Amino acid sequence: MIRKLAQIRTRRDAVLATLAITAAAVALAMAMTALATIDAPAERQLRAVEIAAWISFLIGIIFSYWFVDSFRAIVQLKDTVDRLARTDDLTGLNNRRSFLAGAEREISRAERHGEALALLILDLDYFKRINDTHGHRVGDMVLVATAEVLSQSVRDGFDIVGRLGGEEFAVLLARCDEDAAAQAAEAIRAAIASVRVSTPGGEIATTASIGCAPIAAGDTVSAALQRADEALYAAKRGGRNRVATCTKGGGGSASSERAERQRRDAVAREPLKRSA
HSE at residue 198, side-chain half, CA atoms within 13 A, is 0
Answer yes or no: 115 catalytic.
Answer: no
CA 125/CA 116 separation, integer angstroms: 29
Angle subtended by helix axes 2-36 and 42-86, to nearest 10: 170
- DSSP secondary-structure letter at 271? S
- Residue of 50, 106, 148, 167 with catalytic role: 167
- Provide the Cα torsion 51, 55, 56, 57; round to 10°: 100
> Quick one: residue 247, left, alpha or beta (phi over 0 = left, psi -120 to 50 = alpha)?
beta
CA 166/CA 121 separation, integer angstroms: 13
Contact 142, 197 (CB under 8 A): yes
Measured on CA atoms in the order 129, 153, 241, 98, is the torsion positive or negative? positive
* Distance spanning both ends of the chain, measured CA to CA: 36
Q: Which residues participate in catalysis according to the annotation?
A: 167
